Each structure stands twice: as structure tokens, then as C-alpha cells.
Structure 1
């Protein structure tokens, strides 16, 4: 597969330029003529040429924010009647270069005769199971623009949730960094300057100062700090390797997630946020016309928690065996009783997708409340801990001066 750089004129007489993946120059020119009024320039990009590329090319990592924007733009274009390959080419001229490359590959697949969902499934690092399932359902039902709109909303929900969590911990983190900087200034700069003066005047060092000096000497002794640094680096490497292989060892992942869910404060937050994500995904898939069994199969991969994913798997099996949605979810304790009652009403009234979305909103509100409560607890707690540390360091630094003044 080769990469071609082109410059062409669209139907609005606007000159556009970009890149195109194609097996040959003739095929690249043929594809461009299908999309544009005329082709001004077409040449192979030798630096990016890819020979004998596999069908499933390695997709670059893309930001969820960018994918949400591109999906929203595609929905608008498809709703306006623009052909899907042209819509893909248009969005591939956006600001995110990695996503531009992915969209160009998808456009290549569509122009080769593949369906949009099939072309997207060949870029699995960018388009997950939920994304391709909703696109496939939109293609089948003939309402692709609606599926793309729901996808963009789902992605935006994910982005907003991440921003909300980040903002909750941002302020305490800044306070912590500032306090660590102040402590380091006293410990490694001010105190070492003052110690020779105290020693020359024969000042008795109080206990807090002796403790602080002992800690400083430990961290300044190469015989101690070098093995300690090596030990920490090896520990971090082992932890990274363990976490990277957790997904491959499902039993280990299940145990780790079970421990996380049992934590006093973080556990309910992790559980609620995962359930909210699953509920929004379920609602979007149901609205797109995906079968309920397939919905549960897809949501297992977006749960982000092995315990919840296992419960969804059991629920799916119960559905296949003939249980109702409400009974299957209740049997495996997937959601709380309030949510289950709403599912029961939705199943009985034929408004399951609408009520599932409302439950998701309810759970998202619960997560917001938990984050607010956590922030209100974290800030004074961190301030108290840092106040104690800074107070101890300050006391240890200035107590010798008090003793010196007493001796004068």
C-alpha cells in the first residue's frame, strides 16, 4: 500500500490537498476523480510509502476528544446528504494528524467497496466494539447519521467524565507539589547552610532537628540512596509489567478489580462510574437498533471493570436462556434496586432505551456528588497533612536559632 499526496478541486471550486492510501497510482487517480471535479497534482510520498501493508494496519493512538469532534462532523455531513467517502475525506483534513491518517485509511476501505463498519473494524485501536457495532446498526437500519450522533454524544460523555475526575484531583495535587517544594527548600538548602554556624557556636540541637538531619543524611548518602533508587525503579518496572499483563490474566484482573471495588471511598466511585458508562453505552446501542444480547456482549468490553464485565456476561447468558432483562440483571446484581425497577418499567412499556439512558444520567449525577464530596474531604485532609509536615520542618529548622539566642 502506497501513500500519495494530492491536490484537487472540489465541487465548490475550492482547492484541497491531502494524502491518499492506494495500491497504485492509477487506482489513486480513479478514486480522486470519483470525489473531486479535477485532480491538479498526484504524486507518491516516498517517505511514507508502505509496501505490502497488512489489512489490519496498526492504528495510531488518538484522543477521545478528537474522535468525538470528528464523529459529530461526520454525522452532520451524512445528514446533509454527503457521500460517506467524501465525508471521511473532509474530516481527514482536521487538526489531529493521527486521526486524519486513520480516517484516510477508513476512506480507502470504503472506496474499495467495504462497508463503513467493516473499514472501521480494521482500525481496532481507534474504533472499539461499541463504535463499530453502532455504525453497523446504523447502516442496517438506514439511519447512519443518527447512530453517529449518538456515538458523538457517548464519546462526549466519556470526555466530560474524565475531565470531571481530573479537575477533582487537580487542586489537591497542586497543593501537594507546592508543599513538597517548600519542604525541599528547607531541608536541602536552608538547613544545611545553618548547621555549620550552629556547630561552631556549640548549640545543642533539639530532637526534631536531629531527626530531620538524620533523614537528610540518609537521602544524601550514595551508599543508601543509590540502592534505594534502584529498588524503586525495579519495583516500578515490575508494577508496570504486572498491570500491562493484567488484561491477559483474567483471573488476576478480576481479583484486582474486586479489591478496588471493596475500597471504602474509591470503591463506590469506581463502581458507579463504570455502571454509568455501561448504561449510556447500552442506551445508545439499543437506540441504534442493536439486539439486546449483542448489546450486553459489547458493553462487557467497555465496562472497564472485570467484576462488572463478568456480571454482564452472566446476564447475557441468562437472556439467551429465556430470562427477562429485569430478571437477568436482578439475578446477577448488576445494578441497584432503583435502577432495576426502572428497567422493569422500561421493559414492560417498550421504552427500555429511554429509561436506561435516564438511569445512566442518575448514576452520572451520583458520581458528580461523590466527586464533590471527595474533593471537599481531600482538600482539608491534604492541607492538614502538609501543614503538619511543613510545621515540623520549620520547627526543626528554627529551634536551634532559639537555643542560640538563649545562650547569648
Structure 2
């Protein structure tokens, strides 16, 4: 018996894209490098996990049936074949894959297929309707005149993904607001995942009394913080999610059309449920303590500067050409900010812009990359620099938006 399912390419491609970051990239267990597919009634369920992050998505209203053989009308041979030739054609589609004893045992309509190969195949198909045939340890993917025969892995070896939807732990978000919060902090998370740095290799979710959620990420040189006021009946414990888990969550949020997202937390795992898209993401909490970020936030400032966000970013990009990602010097005097950068390869770049200033004149230097990434996420027409000293933290924030701040350490002037 052969299982046949038909699915729309656009729906499958969208689901594969959202699930892709949950697949294990480096693993000694080959099944973790694959997607698990399971058919239940008229639903196609897709699973992916690296044991830290898990994804479960559903495509509804697929066509699913059992067939004796692959339909003849799927092929359009150049010349008419005899009945014997047609029979031979149908047999070779699964050449050397049919084991009668195995077939008699019965099969479950599920399989695991290598994720990277499957994504490339589906992405490059041109027909909207895709037929997938499953027999024994192979699947046949057919779309138009394109055909692919792929080996599968044992679905019983794939880890079970069991979400926990305890009603008392539910929190609801607007998808767009949560997406914006994550984008404004995730770039600050430490990319190095060595054990000694695990507490910085992710994003901290700090739930506070009064209905506040603060997302925080830091890498030792800078910190980004985004805050949201929300209606929370029971404030859950704060938790830390790994950078890889956050990247998968961000990837799904970008590809989703759901307006409201539900969060469930059971103490060790976080489940995000996107109802309209029939998607669940299960993320393991990192067993590490995030630093006390509150004490890093400066309270007193030597100099305060307000300027145009767009103008500052354009000037910074031009001057940074000469910086070679080393440093940009910022000289603040009266109502003028002068940015300077130089390198032996490029030479010298200097440009001025007008500012509003409170406090003392100052000369300070920063990494141009760190400044650019901060300004890219300001989101308002004006940006505010709050400088404590030439060697201490600088707070950068949007003018008129107290929900976001970015703290960066200056570099030593050369």
C-alpha cells in the first residue's frame, strides 16, 4: 500500500521556512537534522527540533488517500506506451524499495526526511500542487514533470514534542508588538555560546509586578532593553531563552499572519501558540542567571545631546567609511557634534551636525558598528545621547519613547 498526500506548495514552503531554524545544524543524531511529517485526517503536521527548540505546525485541508500504485495520468510520455510498458514504468518508480513482508506489517502515514534537501526541493518547484507518495522507506515528490525520490528516516526515532498548555500560565501578546520588542534587543545578545558565557547568549524575559515585561540582551560591551506594559493576571517567573531559540521565534513571528500570540510557561519550557497559523513553538529555558541589568543603567549624566536620528545615521555611515570598524570620535561643543574617523588605508573623514546640548562639552569615541545598530532601532525622528563620562556607559534612547534604551561602553581614544 502506498500513501499519497497532496498539498499546496505555497503553504508547505511557508511552513518549512518557519520551521527551518529549529532543525539541528550539527548533531550526532541524524533524525534531528530532518523534518518529521505526520498525517492526521486531512491535516499535515510538521515537526522540527534540536532538543533546545521545537516547532510544530499544521497545514489543514490536504488531500490524503491510500493508493495501490502511482497514477498513470501523472506522467505524459512522449510516445504512447503499451500496457506492459506502462506497468513497467509504474514499477520502477520505487525500484528496489518494495518489501512485501514489510508492507504486510502495515505503515503509519508519517516519515522523517532530511530538512535541508527537502527545503531546497520544495522551494524550487514551479507547480502549486505537490503530490507526495510514501512507501516503505522512501518518498516520491511529484510536481508537474519534476520528480524526486528521497530516502526517509524512522519516525519512531524522532523525539516526541508534547506542548503543555496550562491555562493558569497563559499570557497574550500582540504579534507585531512582540516582534518589534525582540528585534530591538536580539542583536545585542552574545554570539559566543561557551559555557562561561551562557547567561549572555540569549534574551532575558523579565516579568515584573504591575504588568510589565522587559526584554534584555547584552554582550558585555552593550545592552539593549525593551519594555511593554500589558494585562497580566498572574505574573510568571522571569526566564532566559537562548539566542538560537529567540532566532527561531523571531523567524516564525515574521512569517506569521496571526494577530495574537499566547504564551504558556511551565517552569522549564515556554510554549508560544499562534492560533490562526496552527503553529506551536516550544523553547527550553536556559539554566543560567542573567546579570543584574538594573545596576548597569546609569542614573546621572555629564552631557545630554538630542539630534535628528536620520541625519546622525547618514553622517555616521559616511564617516565610518574611514573607520574600518575601529572607532569614531565624537566631539561635542556648544551646539555642534563633530564625528571623525581615520585609518591608514582610507585616510581621514570629518563631518559636523547640529545638536541640542545640556551639560559639559566632551570628546568621546565609540565602535561605529555599535552606534549604527543602536540608531537602526531607535524608531523616532530624534535620538537622545546621555553621556556619563569618557570611560563609562552612554545611554542612547528615542526621544518621546521611554520603552526602549541602549547602553554602550565607549572605546579608548587613539
| TM-score, with length taken from structure 2 | 0.21
| TM-score, with length taken from structure 1 | 0.21
The one of the two structures with greater contact order (alpha-carbon pairs below 8 A, sep at least 6) is 1
Bigger proportion of residues as helix: 1
- Which has more radius of gyration? 1
Bigger proportion of residues as strand: 2
